[in-house]
A and B are shown apart, each in its own frame.
Chain A
Amino acid sequence: MAVRTQDERLRPISLWQRLLLRPELGSIAGLVVVFGFFAIAAGGSGFLTWAGTRNYLEVAAQLGILAAAVALLMIGGEFDLSVGSMIGVAAVMMAILSHPDYGGLPISLSLVITLGFALLIGYFNGWLVLRTGLPSFIVTLAMMFILSGANIGFTKLITKLTIVSGLGDSLAKDPLSFLFTGAFLGLPAAVWWWLGVTLVLSWVLLRTPFGNWIFGAGGDPTAARNVGVPVRRVKITLFMLTAAAATVVAAIQVMGLGSANVLQGMGKELEAVAASVIGGCLLSGGYGSVIGAGIGALILAIVQQGIVYTNIDLDWFKVMVGGMILGAVILNNYLRKLSMQVRR
């Protein structure tokens, strides 16, 4: 090593090797494949039209908002399985608070209260994980059951039903609801939220000191702590962030539908993890990309909506999603190994 000549050392790194360093590379390849497949298989039946595009973008948007926050949390080395139940809780809470028969509050105020409650749950998740030292997988699994159970219990106690509907009036009065249900340049608000959240979180991850701490806290918490990274604070902040993202998704759904259902958001926690993993996040933490998670959400949405335009029976959707996840993870793993080869 010491005898290596100057020329060899300054050898430029090929564009390919630079690309390999990007965690999103695998998901971009996946996006091309999936889009290509449906463009060919369903291009004639409306997949490529503006309506078809809008269709899968809307689905991608809600998942993508969640996935962006979940990706950051995963890079920070933790999991949140309670985020799906959190959507249900936030949706019902918001609906009950602003329903004329119950809370009667303006929707913006109930949104703020709900957000505060969600942040509290997120804080509690993080505090519990760090206090007990248990894997966040287990702690948030428990929280998932507690939240969804309590949600059904409280909702039935208050409304005798599991659905809160009839919010139309209260919504129409509030100008704020436009922020969640309106449209701009032909795209629904959810898509703008998705783009905004993804860009801001990606910027935080890559361009701020806090982003560096997220990588550190997830990569090796002990090492990070030894060099002065406030690992505890970073992780708790990330748990709060995922709960906040769940609230945003809940707001979009409640204001869009004018009603809330206790089962809302069920299973979304795993879809968000799937999107993050397709986008290059490692389950072990310390590596990944917010942009990649967004692309992962887009892939899942294209598969889900694209299948409608083909002759394939809808029952096969989950098989395709599973195949996508497996394929993407194997590809990502292979690419990462390639990029990590010692360059001597």
Chain B
Amino acid sequence: MKVVVDLKLCEGNQRCMEAAPEVFDVREDDKAHLLMERPPESLREKVKLAMRMCPRQAITLED
């Protein structure tokens, strides 16, 4: 699976980082940075939670 963050939408709300800290890191620039673009299957549920939790709905998943 491939994770994409729409940086135009992302406002650094940090929900993704709480849901899947292995994948997302919100830095000083208030944007979510991907720690891995293609997370292993084992993280799918966490990434999906991050997608749901994102207030701006900035995360998409490409299979």
Is A bound to B? no
Using CB atoms and an 8 Å cutoff, list the residues of chain A in contact with chain B. Answer: none
Using CB atoms and an 8 Å cutoff, list the residues of chain B in contact with chain A. Answer: none
